[in-house]
Chains A and B, each alone.
Chain A
Amino acid sequence: MTSVAIEVFLQTLIAGLLLGGLYALIGLGMTLIMGVMKIINLAHGELMMVGMYIAYWMFVLFNIDPYLSVFIATPILFFLGIALQKFLINPVLKVEAILPENQVILTVGIGMVLANLATIFFTSDYRSTPVSYATNAFYLSDYWKASPIELSLSVPWSVSFILAVIITISLWFFLARTDTGKSIRATAQDTDAALLMGVNVKLMRVVTFGIGSGLVGAAGCLFLPIYYLFPSLGGQFTLIAFVITILGGLGSTIGAIIGGLILGVFESMTATYIGMGWAPVGRFVIFVVCLIFLPGGVASLLKRKKLGK
């Protein structure tokens, strides 16, 4: 390999890892909801879109930096998620219907409404957030003069990545150390057992949907400085979240993080070496290969010893 080829490869890898860190955050929200509620939330990307619009308007109207908006968008999305779960999804869990997929279809309906309302209120224009540091970058040659190759690291990408890592670690602490977190994990593992142990499963479902929504809202804020914003962007992120969830293994948090990183790198590689337009196809190739060859996702590799039924 020539030094240019190495440079391209490493640059692609870095871009992929940074993207993957953000993807992991999106996937985490989905995998939590799926683990606890056993339903797929197809409005996940649309919730992220809502988070992004909140951060966008905070920036445009009050000049609040998108990264600070994490503290605004996350709680709003948390309560939005709780409301959706309590007033729309919960009633459907009780309705007797031929197809159990009704809940999934319901979330499609929610997603449609959210995306369409955004179009009505904010038009379908593509928007970008002109933060002052948008094009800033670190260059390897600035730090290591004799470096044989040149690599760059975009400032907003790096900040978003680091914040995503911090949020992920906080979530981990929450799930591992707090009572609510433990109850959520118990509900995900075995609803009946959790009920017997006195866990308020109903409440945990509501809270989990809130947390999942809050997480993806935070992810939206982190994406804003580096991505275009338009009302229909939700669909592709729903799919990304889902691919990550499958790749990582249903309901597995570590799986979702690893899955996010793998997907980020893979997409970045596809974009560089095959073509920009094909990156989404790469996403599905991973998805299909995983479904066929690794149905339990990364999580099944991590706990091969776990007892199956």
Chain B
Amino acid sequence: MSLLQVKDVSMFFGGLAAISDVSFDIQKGDILGLIGPNGAGKTTMFNVVNGFYAPSKGEVFFKDRKISGLQPHQICKLGIARTFQVVKPLQRMSVLDNVIASAYLRVNNKGEAEDIAREKIKFTGLHDDIDVISKGLPLGKRKKLEIARALATQPEMILLDESFAGLNPAELDESIEIIRKIKANGITIMIIEHHMKVIMAISDRIVVLSYGQKLAEGTPNEIGSNPLVVEAYLGEAESA
């Protein structure tokens, strides 16, 4: 069963199309990788799914319910959480308070919110930094905080926007492990990533965007052998 359907979505900014007529489905429990060169419209797609933008054309369905046009907080309440490419921690709050703030989405009581928060912090391996003010965290940990915060809203689906960029190899391995664990918990994942090896390894399906259009879609193997993709993106990535 497809959990999220993106149907013929276009997004125009003052006449320029950031996304044009893109459609794809995500199956429940899958990891869908969204790749493409810079400016391909990946983050814009996230912003459409997450409700920051209402698509200029087309619709987005979540569990067969139309969500395009809803506010971000409504979409989050329905079960789609996200992280940001440029991390947005609540700077002057501790790691714990950051996560508590988002855990409050499903509970009203401080004790329950704190329980959820502690669990998610442990899940992402941040428990040593639980009382650190998030402004002082190094980038790798801030990226984890983004994930912990998104998970604390107890989503059915999570959008990860470049959660691996700028991480060192050790952190990279940890993060891949975290994503596998998220999937094992039955949460559907859509992920934007530049690390080709990572995305090839963890994705069930991959959608390739280029200049706002869908270039290809398929399993990692299909994508890896698609000449169009290799030319437009992979080749460039290899040589870089």
Answer yes or no: A and B touching, Cβ < 8 Å: yes
**Interface residue A306 (Cβ < 8 Å from any Cβ of B):** yes
> Using Cβ atoms and an 8 Å threshold, which residues of chain A touch B16?
307
> Using Cβ atoms and an 8 Å threshold, which residues of chain A touch B15?
305, 307
**Interface residue A177 (Cβ < 8 Å from any Cβ of B):** no
Q: How many A-B residue pairs have CB under 8 A?
A: 12
* B42 CB, nearest partner CB in chain A, Å: 15
> Using Cβ atoms and an 8 Å threshold, which residues of chain A touch B14?
304-308
**Interface residue B65 (Cβ < 8 Å from any Cβ of A):** no
> Using Cβ atoms and an 8 Å threshold, which residues of chain B touch A306?
14
Question: Residue on B with the closest CB to A98?
Answer: B92
CA distance A308 to B15 in the complex (A): 10
* A86 CB, nearest partner CB in chain B, Å: 28
Main secondary structure of the interface of A (DSSP, over half): loop
CA distance A307 to B15 in the complex (A): 8
* A298 CB, nearest partner CB in chain B, Å: 17
Within 8 A of A (CB), among B1-21: 13-16
* B148 CB, nearest partner CB in chain A, Å: 24
> Using Cβ atoms and an 8 Å threshold, which residues of chain B touch A304?
14
CA distance A304 to B92 in the complex (A): 38
**Interface residue A309 (Cβ < 8 Å from any Cβ of B):** yes
* A8 CB, nearest partner CB in chain B, Å: 43
> Could you say which of B13, B14, B16 has the most chain A C-beta atoms within 10 Å of its C-beta?
B14
CA distance A308 to B12 in the complex (A): 9
CA distance A98 to B133 in the complex (A): 14
Within 8 A of A (CB), among B196-210: none
Q: 1/0 contact trace for B170-206 toward A, CB 8 Å? A: 0000000000000000000000000000000000000
* B205 CB, nearest partner CB in chain A, Å: 30
* A4 CB, nearest partner CB in chain B, Å: 48
Question: Residue on A with the closest CB to B44?
Answer: A309
> Using Cβ atoms and an 8 Å threshold, which residues of chain B touch A98?
92
Q: 1/0 contact trace for A274-309 toward B, CB 8 Å? A: 000000000000000000000000000000111111
CA distance A307 to B13 in the complex (A): 6
> Using Cβ atoms and an 8 Å threshold, which residues of chain B touch A308?
13-14
Within 8 A of A (CB), among B55-103: 92
CA distance A111 to B93 in the complex (A): 34
Question: Residue on A with the closest CB to B16?
Answer: A307
CA distance A306 to B14 in the complex (A): 6
CA distance A308 to B11 in the complex (A): 12
* A304 CB, nearest partner CB in chain B, Å: 7
Question: Residue on B with the closest CB to A304?
Answer: B14
Within 8 A of B (CB), among A60-106: 98
* A199 CB, nearest partner CB in chain B, Å: 24
CA distance A304 to B13 in the complex (A): 11
Question: Residue on B with the closest CB to A309?
Answer: B13
* B17 CB, nearest partner CB in chain A, Å: 11
* B19 CB, nearest partner CB in chain A, Å: 14
CA distance A305 to B15 in the complex (A): 7
> Using Cβ atoms and an 8 Å threshold, which residues of chain B touch A307?
13-16
* B11 CB, nearest partner CB in chain A, Å: 11
> Using Cβ atoms and an 8 Å threshold, which residues of chain A touch B92?
98
Within 8 A of A (CB), among B93-127: none
* B89 CB, nearest partner CB in chain A, Å: 15
Question: Residue on B with the closest CB to A305?
Answer: B14
Question: Residue on A with the closest CB to B92?
Answer: A98
> Using Cβ atoms and an 8 Å threshold, which residues of chain A touch B13?
307-309
CA distance A178 to B125 in the complex (A): 56
Question: Residue on A with the closest CB to B14?
Answer: A307
* B10 CB, nearest partner CB in chain A, Å: 16
* A277 CB, nearest partner CB in chain B, Å: 41
CA distance A12 to B16 in the complex (A): 44
Question: Residue on A with the closest CB to B15?
Answer: A305
* B204 CB, nearest partner CB in chain A, Å: 32
* B167 CB, nearest partner CB in chain A, Å: 25
CA distance A309 to B52 in the complex (A): 11
* A308 CB, nearest partner CB in chain B, Å: 5
CA distance A286 to B135 in the complex (A): 41
Q: Which 5 A-B pairs have the closest CB atoms?
A: A307-B14, A308-B13, A308-B14, A307-B13, A307-B16
9 new A-B contacts at CB < 8 Å, known A305-B15, A306-B14, A307-B14: A98-B92, A304-B14, A305-B14, A307-B13, A307-B15, A307-B16, A308-B13, A308-B14, A309-B13
* 12 residue pairs from A and B, CB less than 8 Å apart: A98-B92, A304-B14, A305-B14, A305-B15, A306-B14, A307-B13, A307-B14, A307-B15, A307-B16, A308-B13, A308-B14, A309-B13
